[in-house]
Amino acid sequence: MEKSVVVSHVTKKYKMFNSNSDKILDLILPKGYGKSFYALQDVSFDANKGDVVGIIGVNGSGKSTLSNIIAGIVPPTTGQVTVNGEASLIAIQSGLKGELTGRENIELKCLMLGFSKKEIKDLAPQIIEFADIGDFIDQPVKSYSSGMRSRLGFAISIHIDPDVLIIDEALSVGDQTFADKCLEKMNEFKKLGKTIFFISHSIPQMKKFCEKALWIQYGQVEGYGSMKEIMPQYEAFIANYKKMSNEEKAAFQEKMRARRTAEV
Ligand SMILES: Nc1ncnc2c1ncn2[C@@H]1O[C@H](COP(=O)(O)OP(=O)(O)OP(=O)(O)O)[C@@H](O)[C@H]1O
């Protein structure tokens, strides 16, 4: 099987400060000051061409951080990501420039990817048609609703023909008709043997669309395998957590917090 994405020992650390004076101490002291928070800790896995991987995990586990790292938007603190080809991320907070209009954003993204003026002229109408946001296409993106941003982001990403597509919650803000249209496009993508990472809070959507599941649990890989194998484990964890008393929940959260924090 040809590998399309290899993530090797990726850790993402953020500094945490309790006050501004801590920030200043961090700048002054040679060893730094404050605490570090691990958004991701030693994450390793790989995906083959044609894999459709659902990334699952509770809020704050590190799913979006991982998406951004695979897409090359955020660098890992340590570790390596190898992507065979071009990766494109569609997220609610996608890389659209708020001051530019939808049309200008399309042109900018295509230019950044090295498309020629002629190619952009051919592609732009297709993207605009798919996004289907009417006259808003000539308005600054900052005036868009989250659903409109998602529509434009999805339309751009799907038409620039990336090898790896990462969809982070982008289908949760639009209406059902648009989500269905996107799922149809994603199926076409799947058939072309491209790799897709999909993040959604809709478990039925994940089960329907993804063959594999990557379970990120408080910054670490808890499981990676077929959706059939991993999803029941995740659902069992959620069910167990719900049954815990408030004290047990607090103790568990404290344990996870301790696992994710370190002195600088
Ligand atoms: N720039 C940042 N600075 C500090 N902490 C951050 C930063 N970005 C993310 N984090 C922290 O890293 C952790 C992982 O966040 P991330 O958004 O990746 O989780 P997620 O699994 O996508 O969550 P959700 O399901 O709520 O979208 C969170 O605790 C978050 O607060």
Measured on CA atoms in the order 98, 68, 153, 91, is the torsion positive or negative?
Answer: negative
**Average pLDDT score over residue span 86-108:** 85
Nearest atom (ligand 1) to Cα of 219: 14
CATH of domain 45-86+163-264: 3.40.50.300
Backbone angles phi, psi at 217, to 5 degrees: -115, 105
pLDDT band at 86 (very low <50, low <70, confident <90, very high): confident
Report pLDDT digits (tens) over 106-134: 999 899 888 999 999 999 999 999 999 99
Comparing 144 with 147, which gets the higher pLDDT?
Answer: 144
The pLDDT of residue 173 is 67
Comparing 60 with 86, which gets the higher pLDDT?
Answer: 60
- C-alpha to C-alpha distance for 140 and 152, rounded to whole angstroms: 12
Does the pLDDT of residue 15 top 90, yes or no?
no
Q: Which of 23, 35, 63 to mutate to test the pocket of ligand 1 (most atoms within 8 A of CB)?
A: 63
Nearest atom (ligand 1) to Cα of 61: 21
Concatenate the DSSP letters of all residues of 60-72 into one string. TSSHHHHHHHHTT
Most confidently modeled of 20-24, 191-195, 238-242? 238-242
Atom 5, ligand 1: which residue's CA is nearest?
14
Selection from 55, 164, 151 nearest residue 94 by Cα: 151
Does the pLDDT of residue 141 top 80, yes or no?
yes
The pLDDT of residue 92 is 64
Which region among 69-78, 87-96, 123-132, 244-253 has the lowest average model confidence (pLDDT)? Answer: 87-96
Nearest atom (ligand 1) to Cα of 68: 18
Atom 16, ligand 1: which residue's CA is nearest?
62
Q: Are 10 and 41 in contact (CB under 8 A)?
A: no
Rounded to 10 deg, the angle between the 146-159 and 117-131 helix axes is 140
Structural domain boundaries in the chain: 45-86+163-264, 95-161
**Distance from the alpha carbon of residue 40 to the mean position of ligand 1, in angstroms:** 9
Atom 27, ligand 1: which residue's CA is nearest?
59
Report pLDDT digits (tens) over 99-111: 999 999 999 989 9
Atom 11, ligand 1: which residue's CA is nearest?
39
